[in-house]
Amino acid sequence: MDKLWQQNLPISGIKDIVPISGGDVNDAYRIDTEDDKYFLLVQPNSSYDFYSAEAEGLNDFEYADVTAPRVVSKGEIAGDAYMILTWLDEGTTGSQEALGKLVAKLHEFHNPDKKFGFDYPDNGPDIAFDNSWTDSWKEIFVHRRLDHLREKIVEKNLWDVDQLNKFDNVREVIVEELDNHKSKASLLHGDLWGGNYMFLKNGDPALFDPMPLYGDREFDLGATRVFGGFSPEFYEAYDKAYPLADGAERRIEFYKLYLLLVHLVKFGLMYESSVETSMDKILADAKQQ
């Protein structure tokens, strides 16, 4: 990283800025100073607001007393957006039970206005979702997310008529179920897969890289079921700390389907079989009601 950055970052005593692995969305660096280390994210050719949603989410994590990086600063240098976070030293092992309790603690932090959404949209690199505040979780999840994904699937010609009809039948099941379920506006991570938590050197769990919003907590739990990384101890500890309502397993499948649909749109037909399996399960579960 050139001297311009070192001179303009709001951190004193910088000794070095070292490139590190930071995912496929951002450029990532470790800032070494005389007294500390920081995590620097950079999004080339983006404005100051690029990190606003993540920064506000991490600030809300701090209010909720959830272990996560803290926001030090964000801004723009030479046409590139940046955000500086506190550095977390990663360990090698930790307790899935403690992780379950931490996620439950996150979800117990509710929006005092009882509204669903967030101050900023979910601007993913491949697809964006409207997070405008609303009184209805169904509005957020069905109308703004599932329906938008269906539009993208049609645009990309990924499904035939039978698959679209099956999705429409699944949508009816989801709408009916959510109409009968009392959702609360919990603080959500928004992208809670196994790559977005870590264990610190002392063994404590920490969350990072959120796509935050206030929504039904089962949304996050659905994400944990898609790619693994969460043990039975995680779910047992979560449910003990913040017990789930009746029918949670049926509804969690809705959110698994959502994430699989996102990947279908992003990566194509390699996710077709997984999406079909999830839709079939939702329809089969509905018949057993």
With contact defined as beta carbons under 8 Å apart, do 41 and 28 qualify?
Answer: yes
DSSP of 205-265, one letter per residue?
EEE-S---EEE-THHHHHHHTTS----HHHHHHHHHHSPPPTTHHHHHHHHHHHHHHHHHH
Partnered with residue 237 across adjacent β-strands are none
**Token couple for 286:** 């509905």
Strand 27-33 relative to strand 14-20, pairing: antiparallel
Q: How many residues does the chain have?
A: 289
Among 122, 126, 179, 191, which one carries the catalytic annotation? 191
At a CB cut-off of 8 Å and minimum separation 6, what does 128 contact? Answer: 121, 122
Q: Which of 289, 107, 91, 276 is nearest to 201 (CA)?
A: 91
d(CA 263, CA 158): 12
**Token couple for 172:** 């009816």
Is 191 an active-site residue? yes
d(CA 180, CA 20): 47
d(CA 87, CA 22): 13
**Radius of gyration (C-alpha) of the chain in whole angstroms:** 20
With contact defined as beta carbons under 8 Å apart, do 210 and 223 qualify?
Answer: no
Dihedral pair phi/psi, residue 75, rounded to 5°? 175, -150
d(CA 214, CA 122): 12
Residues marked active site are found at 191
